[in-house]
Amino acid sequence: MSCQTDFSTVITAAGNITCKRADTFSLELEMLYADDSSPCDLSDYDSIIMNVKVAPKDSTYVLQFTTEDTTFVVNGSRFTLFKAADKMNIEAKGYVYDMQGTKGTVITTIAAGSFTVLEDVTRTTDTP
């Protein structure tokens, strides 16, 4: 069985994520099996990585979340993505992402979609 995300209220059914530029990013989700909506245990993977890029074929990423550096934390079928505000200070525009899990030599794409960064209004450099 393959996993799909239960996108509930934080991201759309297509797997699209929207956040604010230069804000702390923290998103908790639960992965469910596509066929019966039962929880999908992500702790079965040796590692999980999520890259955010301008275009799918780009060789460089704008943001990366991994289980190795604790920006991607797994707790059974639930997971949390986290980036500090200074790491989210990227250009406000549309990006793409996918999430891949590795178990032994097998790599599986778990989720994919758009990653939209909206412009913020307040800046620490604002003056009256």
123 is a domain residue = no
User: Nearest-CA neighbor of 50 among 101, 124, 125?
Assistant: 101
67 is a domain residue = yes
Q: What is the mean pLDDT of residues 35-62?
A: 91
90 is a domain residue = yes
Q: What is the mean pLDDT of residues 68-82?
A: 91
39 is a domain residue = yes
- Quote the pLDDT of residue 7: 38
128 is a domain residue = no
Q: What is the mean pLDDT of residues 85-92?
A: 93
Summary mean pLDDT of the chain: 84
Q: Count of domains in the chain?
A: 1
89 is a domain residue = yes
Q: Is the pTM of this model over 0.75?
A: yes
Q: What is the mean pLDDT of residues 70-99?
A: 93
42 is a domain residue = yes
What tokens does 128 get? 């009256």
48 is a domain residue = yes
**What residues make up the domain containing 88?**
3-118
